[in-house]
Structure 1
């Protein structure tokens, strides 16, 4: 696996201090961590390689390969991959506002359409970028959209089912989550890669404006039937333009689904900035965002490492801190290049 750092052990090579668990999967645990020198918070996906079978290993390779490829303001960044004998660590950008599923669940009748439009446009922007690089996500759902409140953005994450595709050539792997999966995937048919992400976008938009999934019945069998029959009801409070966009995406026949170009040019999405992230030119970490405790901790490490002494002018120390943080970011960018 190109670009992976090898020979690490301990608590991630002494580079990151692991903290509380943020989430769990079949083979992985996601933990909060801090860079031991800069104090930068990151999410670390810890994968137990001893539990991986051939299929899971394949998905892992695809996830790393696709995340190294996609570098977009609305996609969670993979900073670094650290490989040990039994564990693989994916060092990821950390969101500060939770995931979209929890956010939607706090809005019983859905978000206002203006707010839904803002978030949905960013998701579409990210998926459009992925598809231009011939990367399909295949597990789009609100749980895999993370809020970055300080930046005013949402970002896609969890590329565990992602894969490269060739335009015009169909894929065969069945994957994803039932309530968000396109009918052709659930049938086990060969499928057009971009079309399955379009279906999932339709489910996400429905949830944003309605507050609940379009296909969510008492059991999986009933849910599957509803998806196959493409039976759903959009509440009356949703505008006709938004209903039209949902209907264009949730088409049983993949050939009849809207393309990303048609979605981006749809009347409902006009007037919203799909890429507010382009306004942000500041680095992910700045000395101005450090707490006094973090600032003093960095100075202490600098003193202990003979990088500086406590009599240095505070402005000079701040300049050194900024340079160190920028070097850290440059190292992280190099690690995934």
Structure 2
């Protein structure tokens, strides 16, 4: 078992090299300046290698991206431009960039601790709520900085969060290949399709603190529908050990209404992230005496004076008070029953509306899937009858109308993922 450090990171580590503004070196072959030591990972847009600067011996990561089209070149240029504006200790930093013939090379700092994804799914790692809080606090700090600079990442997921060391808890956000300025985002339709699965992965992975997704349905279509309409619950037993503050934090992140959903900056102020390591507080047990006292306080008991043998008026007064109390109790019971009936009717009505919305969403998603599947560049396989949604890179599920060559596989894993990690069947929707 690998126990992750759950102590709070103190201060900022000294970077491997000073942060810098990088200008792309045109018509310069990166191989002249770096020794390539071996492949680190392979993504949809390029391949990452471990390399060494010939001038100073510094070990780095070099991402080589083919640019057969002008659009491909512009995408890398945009990534370099965005990363130049994101100089932060929780974000991977640029070292240099090169363009040579039909290839661009982006040189980055080397991070060898592995993906946060592995901490989430690998049974060897012991992941506690306290460790999760340390990770999430850093993610929120980094995202607040990114959003504060007017940039949206658009591909945030555990695969694109690297940990500096195997047992450590310091992280860095990586892969800004899809990052955009908000104005660019609203003009880009392509991102919307890719964002669908990442939305599911983000919403399900954020709940892995319990080991189960609260969006889980009977099949992929139902799970995807639950995510679309933000239908979830924390009723499973696995959520019993999660603190109320953590569940409140998650619920406020999953709010469908943008006006009520927390921003990254607001997340940093949430009471769950404000908690700092301390000695575990022991819960005060409720004793039988305390329980009895609590129950007695719930009862409305009128003081009764013992009747006097010499006073008939006193006896009559007590009887009258008893009659009044009985009438009052009956009236209160009627009001409570009426209120309960109204609440039940409201709940039934809400449930009926929710079920109708869920059914409509399922139908819309199935229609969307039929249209999207026929797209020649679709990286997913859909089986509407079997309610299966699977990316080609994560399964051997046969596409009904297309054979799969090596070039047709598109990786959805982070670009730092190892071959062993890429070959592992990714968990789909918490399964």
Under TM normalisation by the shorter chain, which class is it?
A: 0.5 to 0.7
1:46 alignment partner, one of 64, 77, 85: 64
Tell me how far apart the structure 2 counterparts of residues 220 and 113 of structure 1 sit (CA, whole Å).
27
Match of 1:289 in 2: none
Q: Are residue 181 (structure 1) and residue 199 (structure 2) matched?
A: yes
Q: CA deviation at 1:172?
A: 4.8
What TM-score do you get using the length of structure 1 for normalisation? 0.65
Q: CA deviation at 1:230?
A: 1.9
Does 1:206 find its partner at 2:224?
no
Structure 1 segment 74-223 matched on structure 2, within 5 A: 74-107=90-123, 111-149=127-165, 153-165=170-182, 172-173=188-189, 174-175=191-192, 176-181=194-199, 200=202, 203-207=204-208, 209-211=209-211, 215=215, 221-223=221-223
Aligned residues, how many? 249
Q: How does 1:252-263 map to 2 (within 5 A)?
A: 252-263=256-267
* Secondary structure, aligned partner of 2:207: helix
Deviation, 1:242, is 0.4
CA distance in 1, matches of 2:92, 2:217: 31
Match of 1:135, SS?
A: coil
Are residues 44 and 220 of structure 1, via their aligned partners in 2, closer, same or farther at CA, if it must alter by over 3 Å?
A: farther
Residues 47 and 64, structure 2, Cα contact 8 Å, conserved in 1: yes
After the TM superposition, list the runs of 4 or more consecutive aligned residues in structure 1 that deviate by more than 6 angstroms. Answer: 216-219
1:204 & 1:122 partners in 2: Cα distance? Answer: 16
Match of 1:59 in 2: 75
TM-score, normalised on structure 2? 0.52
Corresponding position of 2:287: none
**For residue 335 of structure 2, what is the aligned residue in structure 1?**
none
CA–CA separation in structure 2 for the residues paired with 1:53 and 1:110: 46
2:254 to 250, 257, 260: 250
**Which aligned pairs between 1:265-280 and structure 2 lie closer than 5 A?**
265-272=269-276
Note if contact 2:65-2:104 (Cα within 8 Å) is conserved in structure 1: yes
Contact 1:32 1:44 in 2 (8 A): yes
Residue 26 of structure 1: SS of its match in structure 2? coil
The structure with more radius of gyration: 2
